[in-house]
Structure 1
């Protein structure tokens, strides 16, 4: 391909505001618009110019199109410019509360009302975007924070799912302090229990299957996964907080991360030369490699998902035994199964769920028949048995439980609205370790 033609195309890309182009060039420019919107004008133009400059070394050779395509730059040649755009990034600013953001151009970050908490790629900034009441965001990472106005009684945040690759949204409760659940006694002994003063909820097309209605109390460090879909009329996810009378004591800061699944490659853009078409294919391949969040996606049906091989999980509002586990829960807590994992062990540090009398330990049918509360933690395939076990009561001296369940590793927690007044019913704190055989 002659060098003069390459130089002409480079000029048309780098200076789109020049004199009126011919109809053919105008058509090429129109075809480039999806790419410019996707990758960001500056990064894509620089990337394309890199490709053109590399090809200009061959300008005096009369090469066939196939030879030109084969000599197109590798993805790594443009990685520093484009691969991190709109991906998650780690913050490094010491004065920022945000530990993670989204990689944007500086001007785009400012337009979103965000703050730079570090750098990413070659030209980007790690942008932390905070939103409060009655706002929205379509960014991969954003923060929903409580208002400074103590008169607020209702607050909502709309998570806009515009990216067709997004299949889950993860909510990390970096700070979550609402009023404790309250109850009303029916006979002086048992009472109805619920989040009556303050409550957090999630509204989405899938909210009926999440495993909870409301959260309240203290839930620092907790998280949850919500299914997501960019299909019109299904692309919404609304976080809502309803507040009672003591609004000065409440606070929350929730990191919202839109997680991407693997996706089919989009149709190729109509670009003006085999060189640029080859670069486009490489950029798309690089984009899929960078943006898929496969390591942190939860198995279907899991409200919570732990990816470390060892760790600790707690009931909502456990708060170091100072809280009470929440009512109307029915959800799965899942753990990542590594290729060599064949079992998982559970060590109970604290456990008080559906307690009835003294320090009694209940299992299985006792958790259904011995009480009217029917609250329990279910562990499948315990020890060498194929049967699962339901645990309830005060499990004060329970030995380590080992589960060899096939498929996803999980436990299941269930609670209703009734409690016995003489016990606090703080919930559970359990250590887990996945093990190879």
Structure 2
């Protein structure tokens, strides 16, 4: 009598930002072989924690390794593998939740080179979230221009240049797969002697996901307390960068009716960009106040800061800051202090 063997695994791959489907494989149940030839097991490509300590996405083993990932523990009750992807220079991946890393990270490197790291976009992707562990490059000049090292993105125009030191924050890029099916991160370093390194987690967000930030928001904060910092906020000096055009957005959380903002710039600094560059604050402040002003830029020769004292804004709905730095000739220094960068603590207050 001819016996029935097991069928080979059937594999499909999808992205984290497509919640309606997931990886699957087909197996045969010995007890049910005469009733049903196949038993299909499906699981979502959801976020997972790898045994390495890094985040990953739950894929089948084959889907993971075919796109350059590494198995880092199991998920989906053992039917999937937690796929951690660490992208090297000159590499490309379609895996979601990918880490963009400098050569031999966490080691530093000190040389001139061009490093291009490419993310293949899902057809339904509208945004990419960058969770920055650190970007440590040569900083800008005193006008905020990246003349030595620079990071550029192939899609989105919120930041035409990035350099300096940025740690422990996040940013959003708006992307359009119909314009280009890929997103390139291009790091260019020069011969300046400097210890460089970077690591960012890159997550694709599909157009129908609730986790999407409002379009145009370069940062989106969704907790009752937090800290707002910009590119190069941890630099030394921490000059704000030129070539920025984005909104900083805060979601109003449930049962809160106001938000208090407090400037937390380092001692001897005060963030208030010169005119030609603009920071617009949510709400309207008393123009007669010497501490909380509704000005959005600082005329040359004056001193001040919009957040010397805490500001509490009684405003429902989302709060939006608009930060535009168009003037590449503005010196970011005063006679008595540095202009510095965005460093703002916020707290949403209960009703």
Tell me the TM-score normalised to structure 2 length. 0.77
Answer 1 or 2: which has greater helix percent: 1
Q: Which residue of 2 aligns with 1:250?
A: 196
Match of 2:71 in 1: 116
Bigger strand share: 2
* Equivalent in 271, 282, 295 of residue 353 of structure 1: 271
Matched, 1:144 2:100: yes
Distance 2:237 2:194 in 1: 21
**Which residue, 26, 46, 53 being the options, matches 1:45?**
26
Unmatched 5+ residue regions in structure 2? Answer: 15-20, 288-292
Q: How does 1:274-313 map to 2 (within 5 A)?
A: 292=209, 294=210, 296-313=211-228
| Local SS of the residue matching 2:261 | strand
Decide whether the 8 Å contact of 1:172 with 1:256 is kept in 2. yes
Which residue number corresponds to residue 174 of structure 2?
227
1:118 deviation in Å? Answer: 3.1
Question: Which of 155, 161, 178 is residue 137 of structure 2 equivalent to?
Answer: 178
User: How many angstroms does 1:395 deviate by?
Assistant: 2.9
Q: CA deviation at 1:302?
A: 0.2
* Deviation at residue 339 of structure 1 after TM alignment: 4.2
Match of 1:217? Answer: 164
The answer as to 2:22 corresponding to 1:101 is no
Task: Give the corresponding residue for 1:167.
Answer: 126
Contact 1:382 1:402 in 2 (8 A): no
Where do 4+ consecutive residues of structure 1 move more than 6 Å?
Answer: none
RMSD: 3.5
1:413 to 1:229, Cα distance in 2 relative to 1, 3 A? closer
Query: What is the alpha-carbon distance in structure 1 between the residues aligned to residue 259 and residue 271 of structure 2?
Result: 22
Taking the aligned partners of 2:206 and 2:61, their CA distance within structure 1 comes to: 24
Structure whose CA Rg is larger: 1
Query: Contact (CA 8 Å) 2:231, 2:240: kept in 1 or not?
Result: yes
Question: Offset at 1:314?
Answer: 1.6
The answer (yes or no) to whether the contact 2:115–2:188 under 8 Å persists in 1 is yes
Evaluate the alpha carbon distance shift between residue 37 and residue 127 of structure 1 in structure 2; reply closer, same or farther with a 3 A threshold: closer
Indicate how the Cα distance of structure 1 residues 321 and 404 shifts in structure 2: closer, same or farther if over 3 A, else same: farther
- Measured in 1, the distance between the counterparts of 2:101 and 2:49 equals 19
TM-score (norm 1): 0.63
1:362 is aligned to: none
Could you tell me which runs of 5 or more consecutive residues in structure 1 were left unpaired when the two chains were aligned: 1-10, 18-32, 58-72, 184-191, 263-291, 356-370
Deviation by residue 1:191-237 (Cα, 9 ceiling, x = unmatched): x4410000111112xx23x2x21111000113211112332x43222
- Paired with 2:264 and 2:34, the residues of 1 have a C-alpha distance of 64
CA distance 1:326–1:299, shift in 2 (3 Å): same
- 1:238-264 per-residue CA deviation (whole Å, 9 max, x = no partner) reads 1111111136511111211111232xx
The separation in 1 between residues aligned to 2:218 and 2:307, in whole angstroms, is: 28
CA distance in 1: counterparts of 2:165 and 2:86, whole angstroms = 21
Shift of 1:353: 3.0
Structure 1 CA distance, aligned partners of 2:35 and 2:350?
Answer: 55
In structure 1, the residue matched to 2:281 is 379
* 1:40 Cα offset (Å): 7.5
Q: Is it true that 1:90 corresponds to 2:36 in the alignment?
A: no
